[in-house]
Amino acid sequence: MPARIAILGRPNVGKSSLFNRLAGRRVSIVDPTPGVTRDRVERIVELPPPDDREGETPRLVEIVDTGGYGVYTAEGGRFDDAGEDLSRLTGDIERQIRAAAERADLILLVTDARDGITPLDETIAGLLRRQGLAAKVVAVVNKVDDVSWESHAAEAASLGFGEPLLVSAASGYRRRPFLGALWDRVGAIESQPVSDAEMKFAIVGRRNAGKSSLINMLAREPRVIVSEIAGTTRDAIDVRFEIDGKAMVAIDTAGVRKRKSWADDIEYYAHQRMLEAMDRADVCLLLLDATEKASQVEKKLAEEITDRFKPTVIVVNKWDLVAGKLKPADYLDYLTQEFPGLAFAPIVFVSAKSGEGVADLVRMAFNLHRQAGHREGTGRLNAVVQDILKARGPSGSLGSRAKVFYASQIDVRPPTVVLVVNKPELFKGGYERYLLNQLHEHLPYSEVPIKLMISARKRLELSELTGRGKPAGGKRGRAPAARAEPESDGWDREGD
C-alpha cells in the first residue's frame, strides 16, 4: 500500500477542503455545520515533486479525511428531524478518527490561521502525544489566504510538532510548497505498489437498509459507522478490500429518501455523491430491506440505475428475519412487478449482519462485470437479429415492411448494439422492448442492460450518385452501389 496521510483537527478548520484540494475534486462534503464528516473518507492520489526536483516522479499516497474532533453536533442541532440524539454518534466518530491516526504514516494536524491556536487544538495535540503518535504529526495552518496571514501561522509552532506548513485549501495559496513538503516527507516511508481494483461497485438504497453493515462485512472490520440513526452515512465512502485474491472497491453511499423530506443542504450534497458513485461504479447493488415493502424512493433509484445502463444486482437484505414468513419464489414475483425495468437483473438474498449470502453476492457482481465487458461477434449478432425478425417482425401501417440491413456491437460496458434499418419508427415502443428481451435471451450478456441504438441507413448525396469527383487516372468512375454503410461482415469482427 502507498503511504497513508490522515487529516485530523477540530471542526471547521478546513480538513475536508484540504482533502478535496489534495484529491483534485470534490469528494468530501464541505459545510460549516460541525459534524458533517463522520466516517473515514479515503482516496489514493499522486503528489507532484517540488519545483526544484524537475525530472522526479510523483508519489502515490492515500489521504484520509476524518470528522472534526470534539464537536459532533451543531448548536441547536443535537437532534435530527426525526428526534434522534446525534450525540450518540460521538463514540463511533472518535473511533474512526483514532483508527485513521493509528494507521497513518503521516498525520496532518490542521489548525485555522484566523482563529489562532484554541484550547481544543491543544487538547488534540496532547491526545496524539499520549497515544505515542507525535513523531508522525505535522502541524498545518490552513486559511493562510495571502502573505498578510503568514505571521499569524507562527503560533502553531507552540503545539510542539516543529515548524508548521502553511496553505489555503480554498484559494490554493502556497499550494506548491505545501505539496512539495509532503512529497519530501513521504519519500522516507516504505510503501508497496497498489494493485488496481478489478471492480468497483456502489451500494445504494434507502435509509437503514443495511448498506454500511454490508460494507463492514465485506471489509471484515468496522470500516464505516453503523447506527440505527437514519442518515448516519453522508459521504460516498470508498472501501478497498480483497476477496480470494481479487482487489475491489465497495462504495458506501448515503441512504435516500424523498426530496421533499430533505432536512438541509448536506442531504442534497449526500444525494449528489450517491449519484456520482453510481457513475463511477462498474456494478450497482440495489439494497432492499426484506422487512419493508418496496418504496417509491427505491423505484426512483432503479430508474437512475437503468438510465445509466449499470449492471445491477438486486440485494434483498435481512432475509434471515423473514425467511420463515416469505417464500423466495413469491418474493421474486413481487420484485419483478415492482421493478419491471430491472427484470433482467439477478436477485440475491443476504444477511449483512451474519454474512449469509455475501460471498454469492460478490461472485454475482463479478459475473455481471464480465458479462458487461463481452463483445459479441458481428456474424453471430446478425444471425440472432435475423432469427428474432423471422419469429416476429415489427408491424407497420399501409403495408410498410421493416428491414434490418445489419447489426453491430460498437462498445462494451454497457454492451452497445447498433441496428441500421430502413424505417426506425417501426422499431420503437413495444417492439423495441420485445427486441431487447430477445437479445437478453439469446446473447451472452443476459443479466446486464443492453444499450440499443436504432438508426436509418444514410441516403447517398447527389454528388455520389452522379459520380462527381473523378477517381485517380482521370477516368469517370461508376456510381457506387446504393448503400452508404458496409456489409455486416465489414464491421468489427472480434469474436467471429
**Which of 128, 156, 187 is at the close of a domain?**
187
Give how many domains the chain has, as a whole number.
3
User: How far is the C-alpha of 465 from the C-alpha of 47, rounded, in Å?
Assistant: 59
More confident site: 11 or 376 = 376
User: How far is the C-alpha of 99 from the C-alpha of 239, rounded, in Å?
Assistant: 14
**Has residue 390 been placed in a domain?**
yes
- Under DSSP, the state recorded for 354 is T
User: How far is the C-alpha of 230 from the C-alpha of 267, rounded, in Å?
Assistant: 12
Q: What is the pLDDT of residues 422-447, one digit of tens each?
A: 889 889 889 999 999 999 999 999 99
| Domain containing residue 348: CATH number | 3.40.50.300
User: pTM to 2 decimals?
Assistant: 0.79
Per-residue CA distances from 115 to 76, 119, 336 (Å): 22, 11, 57
**Has residue 314 been placed in a domain?**
yes
Cβ(256)–Cβ(211) under 8 Å?
no
Tell me: do 362 and 440 sit in the same domain: no
What region does 436 belong to: left with phi over 0, alpha with psi -120 to 50, or beta?
A: alpha
186-190: Cβ within 8 A, 24+ apart:
186/3, 186/5, 186/47, 186/59, 186/61, 186/105, 186/106, 187/59, 189/3, 189/105, 189/106
Tell me: do 38 and 168 sit in the same domain: yes
**Has residue 408 been placed in a domain?**
yes
Closest-CA residue to 167 (of 373, 32, 22): 22
More confident site: 416 or 191 = 416
User: How far is the C-alpha of 101 from the C-alpha of 189, rounded, in Å?
Assistant: 16
Q: Which pLDDT score is estimated for 491?
A: 28
Tell me: do 85 and 213 sit in the same domain: no
Tell me: do 359 and 217 sit in the same domain: yes
Q: What is the pLDDT of residues 323-360, one digit of tens each?
A: 888 888 999 999 999 999 999 999 999 999 999 999 99
> Which three cell numbers, joined as nine digits, stand for 241?
478490500
Tell me: do 292 and 433 sit in the same domain: no
**Which of 341, 356, 372 is at the close of a domain?**
372
Tell me: do 220 and 335 sit in the same domain: yes
Looking from the CA of 305 toward its CB, the CA atoms found within 13 Å total 31
Q: In the chain, what's the furthest Cα-to-Cα distance?
A: 91
Q: What is the pLDDT of residues 22-50, one digit of tens each?
A: 988 887 767 666 666 667 888 889 998 88
Tell me: do 404 and 343 sit in the same domain: no
Q: Is 468 helix (H, G, I), strand (E, B) or coil?
A: coil
Q: Is 409 helix (H, G, I), strand (E, B) or coil?
A: strand
Tell me: do 67 and 213 sit in the same domain: no
Question: Which structural domain, as residue segments, surrounds residue 172?
Answer: 3-187
**Which of 372, 399, 418 is at the close of a domain?**
372
| Domain containing residue 483: CATH number | 3.30.300.20
Tell me: do 115 and 161 sit in the same domain: yes
